[in-house]
Structure 1
Amino acid sequence: MRASRRVSRSRIAVGVAGIGLTVGAFSLYSRRRYGRSAAATLAEYGTRPVKMVHTRMSITKRIAHLASRPEARRAVAFPAWGRLFYDLERREDSGMPVYHLRPRTPSNTIVIYLHGGGYITTAVTAHTWFVDHLARRTGADVVMPLYPLTPHHTWQEAHRLVLDLYRRVVTENPGKRIVLMGDSSGGGLAAVIALSLAEAGDTQPDELVLISPWVDVTHANPQIADYVDTDPLMAPEPLTEIGRSWAGDTPPTDWHLSPIYGDLSGLKKVTTFVGTREIFLPDNALFHAKLLEAGVDSTLHAGEGLNHVYPMFPTPEGHRARRDLVRLITGELASAAPSRSGNGRH
């Protein structure tokens, strides 16, 4: 009996050691091959199948299918534990659902968060968990609208509703710190809202924070071709098709759709996070260069070996980015972690 137990324990020990060696080997491979954590590599492998179904034909069919059906209800669910830290309220604003997360302790900061989804998909669980994290860690009020989407709507209605919401939040909260933030298409829309405020002579947000923003729906930048094979999630052709649907009768190069073509000189402070393994990197780098040329305080954080919206991933790199986002929101940090250039600028 005792001998049998010793053999069993020995086998368990060997098994654990084998698992440890395998994990260690994969971690070493990930560091040497991509310069990132094993968790980040696993996250990429998990997203690769997504790109396989994102062909132009499938997107065209999807747009036509969605257009032929009644518009889906826009709604999300937030983590239950959040109720321990903030009050959650859903309002209807001219038909646009708006979620308000209000901390139990009054805050001097308000985050207006615009979700991604390619202007065709509403917020998902990843967004609510991310927003919940920001609300709990910063103690800030968070406002997240579920704006109208294509193909039932074009950019005009979403732009009007979000801009009106932003102005109303500012008016109702005089003197408070305002952070305008968005990811992917929501990041592009956030940049458009900031440009609209500048055009009207309105005060800019204290922080404009963009996570892998979609700043050019035309994808005309020739450097994008260098990233198509490495991006596991996105391809330019289907996104361009969605961009046309979102544009309606407006030229896709209009800055209301592609803020990279706008007059950027009226913006105040912009911080962008983007991965080096995504097709948005060339446009984000160009957008950053144009911001600097226009005299804007702009910081670009390019996550080496990381994918689209990497701050939202449950990886060590995502954790570090979220920590920096928290410090940006609370005003503890003028600039977040160093960018690719190593000096806070790219």
Structure 2
Amino acid sequence: MSWRLVLLVWLLRHLQKPLLARLDPVGARAQFEAVTSLFAAPRGTYVGKGRLGGVPVRRVVGPGVADDPAAPVLLYAHGGAFVLGSAKSYTGFAAQISTRLGRPVILPDYRRAPEHRFPAALDDLRAVWDALDADLGPERIVLGGDSAGGNLALGLLAQLCHLRIPGPAATFAFSPFTDFRDRAGSRRRNADADPLLPIGRLREVREFYLGDADPADARASPVLARFRGAGPVWLSVGTTEVLHDDTLQMAARLREDGVRTRVLEGRNAPHVWPIFGDYLPEARTALDDLAAFLSSVSAEAGS
């Protein structure tokens, strides 16, 4: 562990985790926006605003990345427990991954709970997907997300597989929430070890997002879905996260369906640690690993 990771884990454990435990999810929106605003987009970033499929989106192009309307893109669903976060708050991170991965990033402002419960956010992501698919074709789209956004990305992938619609060239998720049934052992095993997520809040997320919907609905819990025919998938998770088993079980399901899957486990790394790419060497290593994975997928597709 780098000294920066040690410091970050200490700060999250002693400052951020207690705050998350106290604040109600909706009340935490302003605080979340303030924290994510620290990840400012670098000079030279292009940010365009518009709509795709009727959904507000941002098109974020990092410095040095060609802004060609016909270029392959990354469709990214932001995290925030289905309640927090926005395309605006994720613009800085989107610029970072745009530069690292060499393509524009499309950030949907999907509808959030509790005002809009499941499956509103997933429907919005699907609408944006359909618009991009019509313009570019699925082979020119990479699908990604973090935490709740990782759930949405994997849920969309499952939906496309179920309907036998050609899916993205590849999919990735940082610390995805994949099982609303609350059966993963790491939810209890890592409850104290996780430096960021209070376990009690995860149960509240289910109420806020699902309402009366069935937690065993595969659209909400993609670990229960089938993925035959899906393109390669890359996943990352910290070893002390309460969502650790969500990722490992997701990988097992994907491999069971014959999907090429890579899992990167960050030793003692916090929830969605790649978002700290400007600060943590471990985060930069993770993003480099993802970039190499996507390059290999592109090379195989072109061979």
Instruction: Give the TM-score of the pair, scaled to structure 2.
Output: 0.85
Structure 2 residue corresponding to 1:209, chosen from 168, 172, 189: 172
SS for the counterpart of 1:118 is: coil
Partner of 1:133: 96
Letter in 2 for 1:283: D
Cα distance change on mapping 1:329 and 1:163 into 2, 3 Å:
same
Q: Deviation at 1:105?
A: 5.1
Structure 2 residue corresponding to 1:81, chosen from 43, 53, 67: 43
Q: Is the 8 Å Cα contact of residues 109 and 329 (structure 1) preserved in structure 2?
A: no
SS for the counterpart of 2:48 is: strand
Larger Rg: 1
Partner of 1:296: 259
* 1:1-346 aligned within 5 A: 36-48=1-13, 49-55=15-21, 58=22, 61-63=24-26, 79=41, 81-83=43-45, 87-93=46-52, 96-102=55-61, 103-104=65-66, 106=68, 108-123=71-86, 127-174=90-137, 176-313=139-276, 314-331=279-296
Letter in 1 for 2:4: A
SS for the counterpart of 1:181 is: strand
Q: Deviation at 1:155?
A: 1.9
Q: Is the 8 Å Cα contact of residues 267 and 296 (structure 1) preserved in structure 2?
A: yes
**Between 200-209 and 218-227, the greater mean CA deviation after superposition:** 218-227
SS for the counterpart of 1:172 is: helix
Q: Deviation at 1:94?
A: 6.7
Q: Deviation at 1:264?
A: 3.0
Cα distance change on mapping 1:130 and 1:168 into 2, 3 Å:
same
Q: Is the 8 Å Cα contact of residues 218 and 240 (structure 1) preserved in structure 2?
A: no
SS for the counterpart of 2:74 is: strand
Q: Is the 8 Å Cα contact of residues 157 and 167 (structure 2) preserved in structure 1?
A: yes
Q: Deviation at 1:323?
A: 1.6
Q: Deviations over 1:99-147 (max 9, x none)?
A: 0135445364210011100101023777322210122233312111011
What are the ranges of 5 or more consecutive residues in structure 2 without an aligned counterpart?
A: none
Cα distance change on mapping 1:300 and 1:47 into 2, 3 Å:
same
Cα distance in 2 for partners of 1:174, 1:125 equals 26
Cα distance change on mapping 1:238 and 1:155 into 2, 3 Å:
same
Q: Is the 8 Å Cα contact of residues 231 and 260 (structure 2) preserved in structure 1?
A: yes
Identity level (%): 26
Alignment root-mean-square deviation, CA: 2.8
Cα distance change on mapping 1:105 and 1:159 into 2, 3 Å:
closer
Q: Deviation at 1:230?
A: 0.8
Instruction: Give the TM-score of the pair, scaled to structure 1.
Output: 0.75
